[in-house]
Chain A
Amino acid sequence: EPEVTQTPSHQVTQMGQEVILRCVPISNHLYFYWYRQILGQKVEFLVSFYNNEISEKSEIFDDQFSVERPDGSNFTLKIRSTKLEDSAMYFCASRKAESTDTQYFGPGTRLTVL
C-alpha cells in the first residue's frame, strides 16, 4: 500500500538555523499539507498546497516558513530561522483529488531546536 514518507525522522538544530523537512507524498495525490504537533498537544494545520501554490495557511505559518515542490515527487517545508517554540513533530499529508477528503499522513519528523 502506498505511503507518505518523511525525512529525516529526527532533526536537531540550533536556534536561528535553517531546516528543511522533506516529504514524498503518495504518487498520484495532488493536494499536500503540513501539520505540526507540539509534544502532548493536538495536531495543528500549517499549510495546504495545490497546483504549485499555497491554497491556505494558518496564522502559525508566518514569514519564517515556506513550502516548495521542487520536483515531481518531493514536498518540502523550510523554516528559515528556527526558534525554540518550533520544536514539534511535523507531519506531511497528501490527498488524492477525486477521492473523498481522506488525508494520508506520513510518520512525521521530530524537530528539536536547542
Chain B
Amino acid sequence: QQQVKQSPQSLIVQKGGIPIINCAYENTAFDYFPWYQQFPGKGPALLIAIRPDVSEKKEGRFTISFNKSAKQFSLHIMDSQPGDSATYFCAASMGFGNEKLTFGTGTRLTIIP
C-alpha cells in the first residue's frame, strides 16, 4: 500500500520529443507528489511537485498531470533536450508531520540529438 509504481524503467526519445513518465499509487493518504531529477553521482533534485487539488501543473518545459480518481500522475517534458538525460523519480508523501518520501523505482531517460 505504501508503494509508488513507476514506468517505464527506461526511455529513449529524440530531441524535441515529449517523454512521458507514469506513476501510480494505492495509498489515498498521500497528498504531495514531487518529481525528482538525478544526474549520475548527484543527489536527487526537486523538479516539480503537485497536490491532489489540481489536475495539472506546469513549470517551464515540465508538466505534471494528476488523475486523483485513477490514483495516477505523470511527468511530461516538452521540447526535450540532451541535457534532460537523467534518471527521474516520482515520489509521494502524506501530510504535515509525516513527510517521508516514498520513491518510485526511477526512469532512466535518454534524449538523443
Chain B contact residues: helix, strand, loop or mixed: loop
Q: Does B98 contact A (CB under 8 A)?
A: yes
Of residues 13 through 48 on chain A, the ones whose CB sits less than 8 Å from some CB of chain B are: 31, 33, 35, 41-45, 48
Is residue A75 contacting chain B, with contact meaning CB distance below 8 A?
Answer: no
A44, B34: Cβ atoms under 8 Å?
no
In the complex the two chains form, is B49's CB within 8 Å of A101's CB? yes
In the assembly, what is the distance between CA of A35 and CA of B100, in Å?
9
Cβ contact within 8 Å between A33 and B100: yes
Taking the complex as formed, is B89 at the interface, i.e. its CB lies under 8 A from any CB of chain A? yes
B-side interface residues, number (CB < 8 Å): 24
CB interface residues, B 17-37, toward A, < 8 Å? 32, 34, 36
Q: Do B46 and A102 have beta carbons less than 8 Å apart?
A: yes
Chain A nearest CB from B107 CB (Å) reads 11
Whether a CB of chain A sits under 8 angstroms from the CB of B65 is no
B105 in the interface, Cβ–Cβ < 8 Å? Answer: yes
| B44 / chain A contacts, CB cutoff of 8 Å | 43, 91, 105
CB of B39, distance to nearest CB on chain A (Å) = 10
CB A48 to nearest CB in B, in angstroms, measures 6
User: What chain A residues lie within 8 Å of B36 (beta carbons)?
Assistant: 43, 105
Chain B interfacial positions (CB closer than 8 Å to A): 32, 34, 36, 41-46, 49, 89, 91, 93, 96-106
